[in-house]
Chains A and B, each alone.
Chain A
Amino acid sequence: MNSLRVAISLLLTAIVLSNVCAGDESTLSAADVQFFENKIRPALVKHCYECHSADTEEVGGKLLLDSRDALLKGGEAGSPVIAGKPDESLIVQSLRYDGVEMPPEKPVPEAVVNDFVEWVRRGAPYPATVSAAAKEGPVHDPESLWAFEPPKNPPIPDVQNKTWSLDSLDSFVLAKIEAAGLQPTEDVDPRTLVRRLCYDLTGVPPSFARVEQFVADHQQAGADAVERLVDELLASPQFGERWGRHWLDVARYGESNGNDGLGRNPTFPHAWRYRDYVIAAFNADTPYDRFLTEQIAGDLLPADSDQDRDRHLVATGFLAMAAKPAKAMNTNFDMDVVADQIDVIGSGVLGISVACARCHDHKFDPVPTRDYYALAGFFTSSETMWGTAAHEGLTAPKTDLHVLKAAARVPPPEGFVETVLVPESNTGKPKPIPKSKWPVGTPLAMGVRDGKTPADCKVNIKGDAKKLGEAVPRGFLTACRFESEDSIEVAPKQSGRLELAQWLTRGDHPLTARVMVNRIWQHLFGTGIVRTPNDFGVYGERPTHPELLDHLAIRFVDDQWSMKQMIRHIVLSRTYQLSSNASEALMKSDAGNLLLTRHQRRRLDAESLRDSMLKVSGQLNLTPADGSIIRHRDILVNLAGNLHQPSNHRSVYLCYLRSSPPPELAAFDLPDFTSVTGQRDVSTVPNQALHLYNNPFVIEQAERLAAVVTKKTENDEVRLRFAWQQVFARDATPQEIENAGEYLRVTQTELSSEDKAWASLCQALLVTNEFRYVD
């Protein structure tokens, strides 16, 4: 770009122009003004201003095109316009790529060239002042901006079937189903319901005994039995592990930076503290507004105790998890970190992609570049602390970390030696390990804190940190509309993150509550009411049930942002308790299940599948893992080989290294955790089959299960019944017993080993669709 610009300016100097007239303002006809505003100004803005406007630091050929005076004055080559003579005007020649090529990246469309020809022919009329129309931003279709309007409390709709609804939310669903002339499918049977609830609320399947007990309870107590089960599950520590994991996806939680683009991937040895914080927050039912505030501005909150203070500091790890591109040769590095922070707030909390506005006004979403830099100011005014980056300065400069007060000092185990060393990039010889500035075992945490000199951020023109425009006062998304206008002021001497958190958690915020209830809904139904959970903007999908979404969002805020309450409301609804089976006619009438006429069958995610295998093989250790296998390892993952170690703890405690995921989980659509994940893919690829056939973890669980089953008794039939109960939490059918018995006999003969035959049978059960799907 720069060299092109230089080249052009040289060319411009070589051509001397005269006879300039760009239209005397007083003589401009309305038609000329209209032509200019409709055709020429937008093209100038779009194609020329980047290099030829006052906002640019380095003006191409010293030529400005952003005002009439500037056009008349011209650049190094004089004015580009000879009024009335398009063919001789440099501007037209350049657009035609005739001798000079403008814009340098690629020619503008023919139609635009013709507009300029016409404009010059008319005498290049250029109104002296910016018209009101041009000042206004792009015009948006109000319907597409629904999410920027505050939710309205919709009346509960009238329905024909007065007895169907269990919760007010059901009426919103039923009203639409009835309007379509349909009826919802039948209720789910209790056996399926208990399995669904256990997976949805805790991520672990129920045992056979528990299923039996619930079925009996349900027969007696009906809905009360469901309520008791739900309350018990919500109170269990496994709830936080399941729902914390959902949030960790949003928070792009990773225990290493991920490939920096140069093949280096430093660990985040302290990231696990943030994981534990999130799990604890869900178990404690920390209100969502509080939860967000702690993560965005925990360091600025008052604390009653050292524990409190530690917790707040650890929460800010949310903002320090960026998958940073290498610092080497990257002048935009600092702004790349900020971009990640804006993205996690934008896509993660607001459900609006703000990222594009880093470089240009968002084409369709009403997020101008100024808003981006207004948000950026919060983060450029803060210090982001990721740690040492494995002492590899080319990847990222070293930063400080939060030092915790109440957390235990955990030194590395006796005899621990750091084994993976960073080589000098030049010689390939190992670098000495720099001494840590803290005593060994000091409890540390990633996070953010206010910078020394908070200041507003300047616009980076086209996203280039070297091309700076004007500073934008720290502030919020201007497109959001509120019920009340009490504006939040940002104190100039602080980063303003606390004010950002206040703004995000306003009770009348149009996005925050909607986005979160939609995430909750999605985790319970498979798809959200808005099916693009990170994008409520113009590109995103419209809600299938807009009133329902608003109803839930308002209830959420009224319930003091309690996530457990919201989950409770939803799972106790009739809609949630529908069967996933439906008549062929209904399946046809509501093919995409957009009306929610039935429940959606879902495959277990990577974590639940592993946890379930551990559970049925009797191996699952439900105590939380202590820390992380990399807590003492400030190293480059890519040089370390496989760091993962077998573990029987729940999957959420495995080591989520970016670019090096836990091998037991990798095959089943684990995200790469480099950006906000709202919804995991559910792919069906042969690698998954290979995992199920051959992964040592699966084989081991099959062997363990076989050992449990065969220890039970000598009788194969009893063993088989027990295997079915253990794996599927139901009794086998006579046909199944017969087929499995036959399979066992043949296999045992073939392999000449009873153990192997049983292990192969158990593996078969663990890889079936029945085990891997939830109805």
Chain B
Amino acid sequence: MSIMNHSRRSMLQSASCGFGFLALQGLCTQQAAAATSVGLAAQTPPLPARAKRVIFLCMSGGPAQMDTFDYKPQTGKKKHPGSVARFRQHGDGGLWISELLPETAKHADKLCIINGMYADTGIHAQSFLQLHTGERLRKRPSLGSWINYGLGTENQNLPGFISLNTSKSSIYSSAFLPSIYNGTPIGVNGEDMSAATISNVVSDHLPLAAKRRQLDFVQSLNRRHLDQRRGDDKLDSVIQSMELGFRMQASAPELLDLSDETQATLERYRVGKKFKIGTCRPTDFGRQCLLARRFAEAGVRFIEINHGGWDQHKNHRRDLQANCETVDAPTAALLEDLDHRGLLEDTLVVCGGEFGRPGLTPDDGKNETGHNARGFTFWLAGGGVKSGYVHGKTSNTGDRAVEGKVHFRDLHATILHALGLPANDLNFWHEGRDHRLTGPDGGKVVHELFA
């Protein structure tokens, strides 16, 4: 896959070869670049693709898998750690899902549950970074940046990687990949999501027509400036990106404005509903899910939405219930809408956090849990994965994955594979060697997950 190997410098150089980003993208997959529009032109992936985009429902803090998707009933005479929430089987696949997620459970036949996830560390920040970038100690390109590097974007008026209600920039950073693949953050964790927007996307100091005239005037000065500096195509890239920015002024606010949604839809997604109980902070998860759907419809390649608060140490039952209630109905509404609109076919939905938690032992009076990176749960939906299916399992006490084990690097490889990208060959030359998302060990695509 030598065609997927580029150095930062060669990328940047190619980015400044007259056609701006198009030349860069053309190089990336050796496709002829049609110089009709500017931006990260969409690419045909090298392998057959099932999905075209990804929505990642990021559950930070370590969701309690044994009280959501990994049913661990008591097995012997002596009580052992396991599920304390009640479970029931759902859908044709008979998936065990907790009573705390009644709305999501209605979509059991869309879910592909991975119960054998494992990670390297129970330290939040490190595992969270590894979940996003494959590396737990250093800043590396995020999954969404790698995907945009491989595929480009479908919408020339929007960035290809959007991270909603986000935390650290290292989570959506393009690191050493060219910065055009950097995620665009909308809303910061802990702030009111209803006010969240793309910085500086609107201003009413000039009507749009006057802004257009102003930009035309700027561009005429820029072109003359460039004429006197022939051969410096960085200046040319700036001229191009001024145009994309201009177009975003029209396209992005419209997408962020939910006023064209019906009351019923807003209700279904629970937009604006704020839970504030224990570790569960209000994240307006409903708004995030609805925005994710809108961005997916608009062709954004990778959308991440976030709900933290899963780090419920002390009041496990109460906080878990609040967290589940926060995400349950919005998640269900998102799955429902994607399905009805025919988007689920080529949108891969991924849900999970940086690790899981040990179970509680019923009736021992304790209500406190810690971290567990040795076994936890993710689920996928759409994008060509099996539905109503469970992959892998943990031990009887749920303390560790024992079958069908999937590491983050395997999950990453699987997501890239769904998009038609060769996980272990999607390389980028940096500081004297090739780097890839799946790291030196590489990731194993979990082929069993695909229908």
Q: Is the CB of A325 within 8 A of B198?
A: no
Residue A669, interface by CB 8 Å: yes
Closest beta carbon of chain B to A125's beta carbon, Å: 30
* CB atoms of A684 and B180 under 8 A apart: yes
* Contact A3 B190, CB 8 Å, known A261-B124, A685-B182: no
Contact of B190 among A532, A587, A639, A767 (CB under 8 A): A639
Question: Separation in Å of the B357 CB from the closest CB of chain A?
Answer: 12
Taking CB atoms, residues of chain B closer than 8 Å to A580 are 229, 232
Q: Are A684 and B400 interface neighbours, CB within 8 A?
A: no
Return 18 A-B CB contacts under 8 Å, by A number: A3-B399, A106-B441, A326-B125, A329-B124, A329-B371, A587-B231, A659-B188, A667-B200, A684-B237, A684-B241, A685-B241, A686-B248, A687-B198, A693-B200, A693-B203, A740-B217, A756-B206, A764-B221
On chain B, the residues within 8 Å of A601 by CB distance are 229, 232, 234-235
Closest chain-A Cβ to B134's Cβ sits at a distance in Å of: 15
**A483 surroundings in chain B (CB, below 8 A):** none
- Tell me if B46 is interfacial: C-beta within 8 Å of chain A: no
Q: Establish whether residues A675 and B139, one from each chain, have CB atoms under 8 Å apart when the complex forms.
A: yes
Of the candidates B206, B221, B399, B433, which one forms a contact with A539 in the assembled complex, judged by CB atoms under 8 Å apart?
Answer: B433
Are the CB atoms of A262 and B124 closer together than 8 Å? Answer: yes
Shortest CB-to-CB span from B35 to chain A, Å, is 17
Residues of A with C-beta under 8 A to B170: 672, 674
Q: A686 and B168 in contact (CB under 8 A), knowing A3-B400, A532-B431?
A: no
- Distance in angstroms from B130 CB to nearest chain A CB is 12
Q: Which 4 A-B pairs have the closest CB atoms?
A: A689-B245, A261-B125, A683-B179, A694-B203
Say yes or no: A750 contacts B213, CB within 8 Å.
Answer: yes
Residues of chain A contacted by B77 (CB below 8 angstroms):
none
Task: Find out whether the CB atom of A325 lies under 8 angstroms from the CB atom of B248.
Answer: no
Highest count of chain A CB atoms <10 Å: which of B168, B178, B230, B237: B168
Interface string of A655-692 (1 = CB under 8 A from B): 00001100100110100101100000111111111111
A497 to B9, CA, bound (A): 39
Q: How far is the CB of A1 from chain B (nearest CB, A)?
A: 8
Q: Does A330 contact B (CB under 8 A)?
A: yes
Given contacts A259-B189, A659-B167, A690-B198, 4 further A-B contacts (CB under 8 A): A260-B125, A582-B231, A695-B199, A743-B217
Contact mask A733-775 → B, CB, 8 Å, 1/0? 0001001100100110011000010011101110111101101
B245 with A262: CB separation less than 8 A: no
Beyond A260-B125, A330-B123, whether A768 also contacts B222 by CB under 8 A is yes
Complex-state Cα separation, A375 to B27, whole angstroms: 45
> Please, which residues of chain A bring their CB within 8 A of the CB of B237?
684
CB distance A638 to B210 under 8 Å?
no
* Contact of B244 with A by CB under 8 A: yes
Q: Which residues of B contact A263 (CB under 8 A)?
A: 167, 189-190, 308
**A261 CB to nearest chain B CB (Å):** 3
Q: Which residues of B contact A (CB under 8 A)?
A: 9, 13, 15, 61, 122-126, 128, 137-139, 159, 167-170, 178-180, 182, 184, 188-191, 198-203, 205-207, 209-211, 213-215, 217-218, 220-222, 225-226, 228-232, 234-235, 237-239, 241-246, 248-249, 276, 278-279, 308, 311, 314-315, 370-371, 374, 399-400, 431-433, 441
B199 near A659 with CB under 8 A, answer no
Counting chain A CB atoms within 10 Å of each CB, the highest count among B15, B228, B245, B308 belongs to B245
In angstroms, how far is the closest chain B Cβ from the Cβ of A665?
Answer: 12
Closest to A581 in B: B229
- Are B370 and A691 interface neighbours, CB within 8 A? no
Partner of A584, one of B231, B371, B432: B231
Is B159 a contact partner of A686 (Cβ separation < 8 A)?
yes
Given contacts A693-B246, A743-B217, contact A426 B314 (CB under 8 A): yes
A592 interface hit (Cβ, 8 Å) = yes
**Cα of A263 to Cα of B187 in the assembled complex, Å:** 13
Q: Note all chain A residues with C-beta closer than 8 A to B230.
A: 584
B190-A638 in contact (CB<8A) = yes
Question: Any chain B CB within 8 A of the CB of A428?
Answer: yes
**In whole angstroms, what is the CA distance A415 to B228 when docked?**
58
Report if A392 contacts B (CB, 8 A).
no
Q: Which single member of B169, B182, B217, B232 contacts A739 (CB below 8 Å)? A: B217
CA distance A770 to B201 in the complex (A): 24
Distance (whole angstroms) from the CB of B234 to the closest CB of chain A: 7
Q: How far is the CB of A664 from chain B (nearest CB, A)?
A: 11
Contact assessment for A685 and B201 in the assembled complex, using a CB-CB cutoff below 8 Å: no
Q: In this assembly, does A699 line the interface, its C-beta being within 8 Å of a C-beta of chain B?
A: yes
Q: How far is the CA of A538 from the CA of B9 in the complex (A)?
A: 19
Q: Is the CB of B178 within 8 A of A683?
A: yes
A689 pairs with B311, CB closer than 8 A: no
Residues of A contacting B242 with CB < 8 Å?
689, 692
Give the complex CA separation of A740 and B433 in angstroms.
Answer: 50
Which of chain A's residues have a CB closer than 8 A to the CB of B279? 425
Query: How many residue pairs at the A-B interface have CB separations less than 8 Å?
Result: 204
| Distance, CA A751 to CA B138, complexed state (A) | 51
Whether B238 lies near A684 (C-beta < 8 A) is yes
Task: Confirm or deny: A535 has a beta carbon within 8 angstroms of a beta carbon on chain B.
Answer: yes
| A336, chain B: closest CB distance, angstroms | 9
Known: A3-B374, A686-B248, A763-B214. A770 touches B125 (CB 8 A): no
Q: How far is the CA of A263 from the CA of B191 in the complex (A)?
A: 11
Find chain B residues with CB under 8 A from A377 CB.
Answer: none
Residues of B within 8 A of A751 (CB): 206-207, 210
Determine the residue in chain B with the shortest Cβ distance to A686: B245
Q: Would A638 and B201 count as touching, CB distance under 8 A?
A: no
Complex alpha-carbon distance, A674 and B245, angstroms: 28
Chain A residues 406-455 with CB under 8 Å of chain B are 425-426, 428
Neighbouring B residues of A75 by C-beta, 8 Å: none
Interface assignment of A540: CB less than 8 Å from any CB of chain B: yes
Q: A262 vs B214: C-alpha distance in the bound complex, in angstroms?
A: 44
CB within 8 Å for A689 and B432 given contacts A259-B168, A638-B188, A768-B225: no
Give every chain A residue within 8 A of B209 (Cβ-Cβ). 750
Contact A663 B179 (CB under 8 A): no
Given known A639-B190, A767-B218, A769-B222, contact A535–B205 (CB-CB < 8 A): no
19-56 of chain A: CB within 8 A of chain B: none
- Which of A332, A641, A674, A760 is close to B206, meaning CB atoms less than 8 Å apart? A760
Q: Which residues of A contact B241 (CB under 8 A)?
A: 684-686, 688-689
**Do B210 and A693 touch across chains, with their CB atoms under 8 A apart?**
no
A688-B245 contact, Cβ under 8 Å, with A641-B191, A739-B217: yes
Contact residues of A between 222 and 237, Cβ < 8 Å to B: none
Of B218, B244, B276, the contact of A768 (CB 8 Å cutoff): B218
Contact B432 A672 (CB under 8 A): no
- Nearest chain A residue, comparing its CB with the CB of B122: A329
Contact of A694 among B210, B238, B249 (CB under 8 A): B249
A535 to B241 CA separation, bound complex (whole angstroms): 32
Give A252 to B205 CA distance when docked, in angstroms. 37
The answer to whether A747 and B210 have CB atoms under 8 Å apart is yes
In the complex, what's the smallest C-beta–C-beta distance from B313 to chain A, in angstroms?
Answer: 8
In the bound complex, residues from chain A placing their C-beta under 8 Å from that of B245 are 686-690, 692-693
- Give, as a whole number of angstroms, the nearest-CB distance from B266 to chain A: 25
Would A426 and B278 count as touching, CB distance under 8 A? Answer: yes
Which residue of the partner chain, among A538, A689, A695, A760, contacts B214 with CB atoms under 8 Å? A760
Q: Smallest distance from the beta carbon of B126 to chain A beta carbons, Å?
A: 7
A131-149 vs B: 1/0 string, CB under 8 Å? Answer: 0000000000000000000
Contacts of A3 in B (CB 8 A): 374, 399-400
A184 within 8 A of B: no
Q: Chain B contacts of A659 at CB under 8 A?
A: 167-169, 188
Let me know if A258 is at the binding interface, CB within 8 A. Answer: yes
A355 within 8 A of B: yes
> Once the chains bind, are A760 and B210 in contact (CB under 8 Å)?
yes
Residues of A within 8 A of B159 (CB): 685-686
CA distance A280 to B265 in the complex (A): 59
CA distance A71 to B191 in the complex (A): 59
Q: Which residues of A contact B231 (CB under 8 A)?
A: 582, 584, 587
Give which listed residue, B122, B125, B215, B399, contacts A325 with CB less than 8 A: B125
Contact of A693 among B180, B211, B228, B315 (CB under 8 A): B211
